[in-house]
Structure 1
Amino acid sequence: MGPITILDKSAFQSFSHREHRYFVRYFLENVTPVLVQEVTADLSKAAKDGKPSEEKVVELARKFHGSGTSANENYRSLCMSSLMGVDVPMDGRIPVDNGTLLRNEDGSTGMFIDMSFFNHLIMKLAANQADEHDRAFARRWREATSNFSLQGLTKYLSSRHIILPKSANTDEIKLSVDTMLAKSSLQHIWLEAILLLLKVDPSQATQVRVRWSHEETFMKAFAPFAYHCLRALLMLFVASRDAHVKAKPTDLVDLQYLYYLPFCYVFSSDDKVHRILAPLLIRPDQTFVRAPELKSALRELAGYFDARTEQERTWISYALGSHPPPLPNNLVSQLWRKHMRPWGRGMRNFASKLSEQESEAALQYVEELFKASAAPPPEADPAKRTA
């Protein structure tokens, strides 16, 4: 299991089937609702180059290699949970869409993760079994995105006479937004902005306001995940207003990927909005990578295995387990070194049936690979993740 990673559609679509196989081998993908919705929405697109849109959707859905992995809960419901005082972990874990907490006899807890609506939809799309309900879903999604704009936020800020400072460059976007979000006199304004933009049901909004009246504090502490989403939206507002990005109808769709940033360690995209805003929003223990760079690294790994003998591939598969080979300048190897625990002999694939002699030969072979790559020695480092 590799670093939890989110791909936007530009990255997901750019990888070949072969590159996707290596991606799912070395990364744990967080399947976001917005990615599945964007793939499904292609059902409503006109055919291009003589290729029906259904064929394109099937091709994309099959890149999930089955149902896809754990689907993230929708950001809107997570925002509501956050506003209601529920702790939404924002440390890289996936808040799964269809998980059930279970308690064992010894008092410990675990979780059963069932397939979600989005996992089932992926399988239907891959099997070319999309029905009229799915096409209607695609049309509604396409129509909704074509009407997205920042007009609601602009009107709200204007009515409250709130002016965010100008940003001369992209680095100043963060300063502009964070300066205003930190003003104590504006905290109730930001709360109402979230309730308005989320179109929260009046009864639920009342519950949130009652909670606010008892805990009145800074939004960052009151509802951390909702605050993160508002912060991302305000950054897009400033970036668009100050001409760092050219506004387009799908900007708020692209922004949804950034709402899910707290639930991964690696985010990959080649969208301009993401290239500008993701580095401003990620935690210190996260990495934003350009999709072409990750694609190149996956292709290099595929070529590396092609160049090995059958015996070498057997040794690597056994000794490394799920760990990638330590290629000196390969981005996948670098991401593993940053986000995962170092390789050790105990990480080998115990399901492989090798003799004791073959097992030792495989381990020695891999140790030589690490030495040759000048990678950090396979010793535990408390500063690195141990997941």
Structure 2
Amino acid sequence: MGPVALFDKSFLQSLSVDESVWFDHFFVANISPLFYIETLADLDKEMSRGKTAEQVVGNIAEKAPQMSGAANISHLDLLVGSLMGYPVSMTNRPVIGGGRQVEAAGKRGVNFDLSPEAKAFNRWQDGEYQKLEREFARAWRAQIKGMTFESSASYAQKLGVDISSCKNMNDAANAANRIVNLTNKPYELIGFIVNAVGIPREYQQKLVRRYQIAGFPPLTRFAPYAAHVIKVEVFFHICVSRGFISADRPSNKIDIAYLHYLPFCNVFISGDKLHRSTVDLFLKDDQRFVWGPDLKMDLGRLNAHYMEFPQEVKDKGVLSFASRPPTEVDYLTSELWDLLGPSWRNSEGDTAPITQETNDKILEHVKQFTDAPTLPPDGIVDPLDEVDSVSLQRSVRRKRGSWYQVPKDLKDG
């Protein structure tokens, strides 16, 4: 398992199908809802210009990750949850929903069925597109654009922050950081958040009460993930108002929203200039921004490297002969794996394939959990790390591009 990679649509779109296989194989993809929104937005836009759905979406759906990774919960849902007191894990891993707690053979487990996004990509690869999905994406897009921080200047003044003194993006980030660390004007801060984010009325009183009981700590301690989102949004609107970011490009609002998912990845990959100029202001020391064209080139080099392998080796599937990136040549992918620690370089390399008997036992164990009924509410365990097993269902095509993702002779089912 490689580093968790958040990526934007421009990066995946730039890849060949073969390059996308290696991205999927060597990275754990965090598929943000924004990627889904952008893809369906393109479908609506280009079909209105006379293109077919297959021309617009089929190609990018073919490149969507299948082997690893997961679809992250929307930052809007996580933001409200954070403010309401539900902890949001910010440990460089995707936050996924839909898990079912089950029990089998005296052990507890959590099953994550195939996500709606993965099902959608599978349909798109087969040329099937549902009107409901496009309408859902439109609603998501409108919700994101509905977050309005245009009054940041007046609220910042109430909170004692003068954004007119911001001379560059660095100053804007510092000003936004001061706002989420304030403790002396709690009601002004909560008023700012409620109005800007659009907190549903039924939650507002509970939010204020929670903040009072907590003793009005800085937002970074009261609701860390909410503080991250607010900081990004305030930064963006300061930059727009000061002219550091163009107000004439509507897509900037969606592009900046990718930064809300930074707490859920090791690397962020993009070919977008706005991301390149802003993301370093929000990354932690153990994270890295990767310029999309650089990684595309590296994946192309890896593809050429593995193309030299004998056909009988390639027929066994990429999992059997490339369990880790090569170490004998300097690859960017190998360098990014070092974010997880150097120990992988000292391992013995690709492992021998497991026996059919062992494989059957593993499948039987997994099947026990995936077929088990969901536990009743009074049987749910908390926290999640008390469970013995976690399984995620995936739908994987036998062959993509030039590569068998699973053994060529693997039986269906």
TM-score, length-normalised on structure 1?
Answer: 0.80
User: What letter corresponds to residue 192 of structure 1 in structure 2?
Assistant: G
Q: Displacement of 1:52 after TM fit?
A: 3.0
Give 1:90's aligned residue: 90
**2:243 paired with 1:240:** no
What secondary structure, in the 3-state scheme, does the structure 2 residue paired with 1:112 have? strand
- Deviations, residues 278-308 of structure 1 (Å, cap 9, x unaligned): 1111111111111111111111111122244
What secondary structure, in the 3-state scheme, does the structure 1 residue paired with 2:289 have? strand
Give 2:42's aligned residue: 42
User: In structure 1, what is the Cα distance between the partners aligned to 2:129 and 2:332?
Assistant: 36
**2:119 paired with 1:120:** yes
- Deviations, residues 68-124 of structure 1 (Å, cap 9, x unaligned): 741111111111221121211101121102223456777x76431112222222222
Q: Residues 109 and 235 (structure 1 numbering): CA distance in 2 closer, same or farther, change over 3 Å?
A: farther
Q: Displacement of 1:254 after TM fit?
A: 1.0
Q: Kindly indicate whether the alpha-carbon contact (under 8 Å) linking 1:166 and 1:242 is maintained by their aligned counterparts in 2.
A: no
User: In structure 2, what is the Cα distance between the partners aligned to 1:118 and 1:317?
Assistant: 24
- Deviations, residues 288-332 of structure 1 (Å, cap 9, x unaligned): 111111111111111122244558879996886421112543210
User: What letter corresponds to residue 170 of structure 1 in structure 2?
Assistant: M
Counting aligned pairs with the same residue, the percent is 25
Give 1:255's aligned residue: 256
What secondary structure, in the 3-state scheme, does the structure 2 residue paired with 1:130 have? coil
Give 2:374's aligned residue: none
Q: Displacement of 1:125 after TM fit?
A: 2.4
Q: Which range is displaced more, 168-177 or 218-227?
A: 168-177
Q: Kindly indicate whether the alpha-carbon contact (under 8 Å) linking 1:2 and 1:322 is maintained by their aligned counterparts in 2.
A: no
Give 2:270's aligned residue: 269
- Deviations, residues 136-191 of structure 1 (Å, cap 9, x unaligned): 34555666778886535456546767532533333333223223433322444333
User: In structure 2, what is the Cα distance between the partners aligned to 1:123 and 1:13?
Assistant: 17
Give 2:230's aligned residue: 230
User: In structure 1, what is the Cα distance between the partners aligned to 2:207 and 2:147?
Assistant: 26
Structure 2 gaps of 5+ residues are 356-413
User: What letter corresponds to residue 112 of structure 2 in structure 1?
Assistant: I
Q: Kindly indicate whether the alpha-carbon contact (under 8 Å) linking 1:165 and 1:176 is maintained by their aligned counterparts in 2.
A: no
Q: Residues 80 and 293 (structure 1 numbering): CA distance in 2 closer, same or farther, change over 3 Å?
A: same
User: In structure 2, what is the Cα distance between the partners aligned to 1:313 and 1:121?
Assistant: 29
Superposition RMSD in Å: 3.2
- Deviations, residues 226-254 of structure 1 (Å, cap 9, x unaligned): 00000111121222233222122122211
Give 1:383's aligned residue: none
Q: Residues 346 and 208 (structure 1 numbering): CA distance in 2 closer, same or farther, change over 3 Å?
A: farther
**2:58 paired with 1:58:** yes
Q: Displacement of 1:273 after TM fit?
A: 2.1
Give 1:196's aligned residue: 195
User: In structure 2, what is the Cα distance between the partners aligned to 1:238 and 1:116?
Assistant: 36
Q: Residues 105 and 210 (structure 1 numbering): CA distance in 2 closer, same or farther, change over 3 Å?
A: farther
User: In structure 1, what is the Cα distance between the partners aligned to 2:189 and 2:352?
Assistant: 53
**2:67 paired with 1:77:** no
- Deviations, residues 242-267 of structure 1 (Å, cap 9, x unaligned): 32221221222112211111011010
Q: Kindly indicate whether the alpha-carbon contact (under 8 Å) linking 2:47 and 2:53 is maintained by their aligned counterparts in 1.
A: yes
Q: Which range is displaced more, 251-260 or 319-328?
A: 319-328
Q: Which range is displaced more, 263-272 or 93-102?
A: 93-102
User: In structure 2, what is the Cα distance between the partners aligned to 1:283 and 1:116?
Assistant: 29
Q: Kindly indicate whether the alpha-carbon contact (under 8 Å) linking 2:262 and 2:283 is maintained by their aligned counterparts in 1.
A: yes
Q: Residues 144 and 314 (structure 1 numbering): CA distance in 2 closer, same or farther, change over 3 Å?
A: closer
User: What letter corresponds to residue 184 of structure 1 in structure 2?
Assistant: T
How many residues are matched?
352
Give 1:296's aligned residue: 297
Q: Kindly indicate whether the alpha-carbon contact (under 8 Å) linking 1:164 and 1:177 is maintained by their aligned counterparts in 2.
A: no
Q: Residues 154 and 179 (structure 1 numbering): CA distance in 2 closer, same or farther, change over 3 Å?
A: closer
Structure 1 gaps of 5+ residues are 354-387
User: In structure 2, what is the Cα distance between the partners aligned to 1:323 and 1:202?
Assistant: 50
